Chain A
């Protein structure tokens, strides 16, 4: 079984400031890790994922996340945020080696970018 903890429920920042959304997980098996973004009244969109290889993964819109196995973390960062980044962000994990299984989500972090 897995669990995910997102340490901040709300993160307010000013436009063009850097941001870090924290995610820690617990699992008895190796996992794949994901960040999803949810805009108001919409579904979840995959932002980025870690499956294997380089521990630093990047999205097309400037976000990056680093898998730290020793600290069981997968924090999401962006060096300069825009108003349009305002959304809810969910960290999720799934156990490796399963051909189809459940995603376990954190409680979400509401990122609000202010002008």
Chain B
């Protein structure tokens, strides 16, 4: 039973490029959450999605960041025109539909902006 999968594990982008981070939830999970961990800090909530729906994006920066969870395929976190301050570890979690408190985390994508 595969856990939450994220790819790539490491991503290097130059300033101004786009970053695309992918997350495949655990089998049977229909809710996906994205969190960001800046250096020396705890995890901060970014966005909560269900299939084809953004439920809560109150933690997303207003510009350059977007997320989707299509009917088929993984959830995507997209960062346009990356800046050095976007360098962080981005974690995806998934949960069953009726137990949103039971979140299982993926290994994370470590984004480095040069």
Contact = CB atoms under 8 A, between A and B. Distances in A.
**Is B a genuine binding partner of A?**
yes
A43 B106 contact: yes
Nearest to A106: B42
A94 B42 contact: no
A99 interface: yes
Interface string B29-41: 0010101000001
A33 to B, nearest CB: 10
Nearest to B98: A99
Chain B interface mostly: strand
A102 B43 contact: no
Contacts, number: 62
Contact of B43 (A32, A41, A90, A99): A90
B31 A100 contact: yes
A7 interface: no
B25 to A, nearest CB: 12
Contact of A102 (B6, B42, B56, B110): B56
Contact of A101 (B50, B56, B104, B108): B56
A26 interface: no
Nearest to B110: A41
Interface residues of B, number: 29
B107 interface: yes
B106 to A, nearest CB: 6
Contact of A108 (B42, B55, B59, B100): B42
Q: Which 8 A-B pairs have the closest CB atoms?
A: A100-B100, A102-B45, A105-B42, A43-B107, A44-B105, A107-B42, A43-B105, A105-B43
15 contacts: A4-B42, A32-B101, A42-B108, A44-B91, A94-B101, A98-B100, A98-B101, A99-B97, A100-B50, A100-B55, A102-B48, A103-B43, A103-B45, A105-B43, A108-B41
Interface of B: 4, 6, 31, 33, 35, 41-45, 48, 50, 55-56, 59, 91, 93, 95, 97-98, 100-101, 103-108, 110
